[in-house]
Amino acid sequence: MAFTAAVLLGIAGWRLYPVLRYPYHVKFAKELSLTLPRLYETFGEPDPVRERFYGMALEASRQNWDKVGELAAEDTKTILGSYFFNLANAMRGELGEHLMEHYQPFGYGLFIPVDEQSSVLSIICSDEVWYQLGEMTMAEHNTMLGMIFSPAQSGPRFYRRLAEINLINGDTAAADKYLALLDDTPDDSWKEKRKLVQKSDFVHGAAQIRPVLKGLLESNPENLPAYEYLLCHDLLTKDISAFIQDYVPGRRECRLYQEAALIYMASENIMNPENMSRFGVTEDVWRDFCRYSDIYTEDHGSGKRLSDNFRRTYWYYFHFAKVNEKAQRH
């Protein structure tokens, strides 16, 4: 009798242990209308890394940016980790400040690519940035893709987001369809997004990110996250000329942008006090740039010594970050 009870308790403990240890697994499964075994079967056995992924996805959809930032800071070199790290910072108005503090898989850490190589989890999370920036067509498209490729092809996570998007767009009939499928009612945070949506209409390809961000800014110049995403997209794709076109000196004080402006001035051979002032380059940044340039020249382009002191500068990223397509998409 005691033995049977002990065995039963053991089984219960064995089953309950991951549930208690990994609460985000449980919540994420519910959001995707999955049982826990189905979640494990699809995305892998419960572990701390997945717990963090699910946590970032869930907390981001609730706009708990400090929590997202906290979870993302623990990440090591994953696209999803960079994606949520950047999003949390952008929503707190600090994207530029912290961009170089984290692994940056080029532009993929800003906008997750969605194609045949993408993981299901990546696709499910890919709508968040578009929604938060106010681009509802891409947000809806990516939410729909997330739903299509999720194991149950349904779930409150998708219904809620699709309802919010359609409420923002004023498509109440479509919103009603998804609201009717939900047990709960979304809060009113979607109303804040309405002022961000594009007022003009044009047609673009899925990979044409820059014109979409510019369109968002034209519709609402106060959309600071969209502005920072535009600048950081230019910088992470190493498109300095695009950055200079998009950069509005003085709008957003940030060392990263000063560093990029110095690269532009150096490449155009227009480094003079007037331009320093125009791009808001401070004395400190200028001094660091000179030190960086000296070491770079002395070491004949080697990054070994530079990595000690300048690993978190845009100059270092610009010179030494290389695309590792295979590793990035894994």
Check binding of 198 to other proteins (CB under 8 A): yes
Strand, helix or coil for residue 78: coil
Interface of this chain with other proteins, residues 203 to 242, rule: CB under 8 A: 203-206, 212, 215
Q: Are 156 and 248 in contact (CB under 8 A)?
A: no
Check binding of 313 to other proteins (CB under 8 A): no
Tokens of 278: 């125009």
Q: DSSP letter at 77?
A: S
Check binding of 202 to other proteins (CB under 8 A): yes
Taking the complex as a whole, the smallest distance from the CB of residue 56 to other proteins amounts, in Å, to 24
Taking the complex as a whole, the smallest distance from the CB of residue 145 to other proteins amounts, in Å, to 6
Check binding of 145 to other proteins (CB under 8 A): yes
Check binding of 87 to other proteins (CB under 8 A): no
Check binding of 138 to other proteins (CB under 8 A): yes
Cα separation, 100 vs 185, in Å, equals 38
Cα separation, 149 vs 166, in Å, equals 21
Binding mask 165-184 for other proteins (x = CB under 8 A): -x-xxxx-xx-xx--xx---
Is the Cβ of residue 204 or residue 291 nearer to other proteins in the bound state? 204
Q: φ and ψ at 103, to 5 degrees? A: -55, 130
Is the Cβ of residue 4 or residue 185 nearer to other proteins in the bound state? 185
Is the Cβ of residue 65 or residue 131 nearer to other proteins in the bound state? 131
Taking the complex as a whole, the smallest distance from the CB of residue 307 to other proteins amounts, in Å, to 40
Cα separation, 85 vs 80, in Å, equals 8
Taking the complex as a whole, the smallest distance from the CB of residue 138 to other proteins amounts, in Å, to 6
Burial of 287 per CB tally in 10 Å (0-12, 13-18, 19+): exposed
Instruction: Name residue, tokens 């998409």.
Output: 329
Is the Cβ of residue 164 or residue 259 nearer to other proteins in the bound state? 164
Taking the complex as a whole, the smallest distance from the CB of residue 130 to other proteins amounts, in Å, to 10
| Amino acid at residue number 179 | L
Q: DSSP letter at 246?
A: H
Check binding of 153 to other proteins (CB under 8 A): yes
Cα separation, 277 vs 280, in Å, equals 5
Check binding of 186 to other proteins (CB under 8 A): no
Residues in contact with 99: Cβ distance below 8 Å, sequence separation at least 6, in sequence order? 86, 89, 232, 235, 236, 256
Check binding of 34 to other proteins (CB under 8 A): no
Taking the complex as a whole, the smallest distance from the CB of residue 186 to other proteins amounts, in Å, to 15
Cα separation, 34 vs 153, in Å, equals 10
Q: Which residues contribute to the site for other proteins (CB under 8 A)?
A: 135-138, 140-141, 144-145, 147-149, 153-154, 166, 168-171, 173-174, 176-177, 180-181, 197-198, 200-206, 212, 215
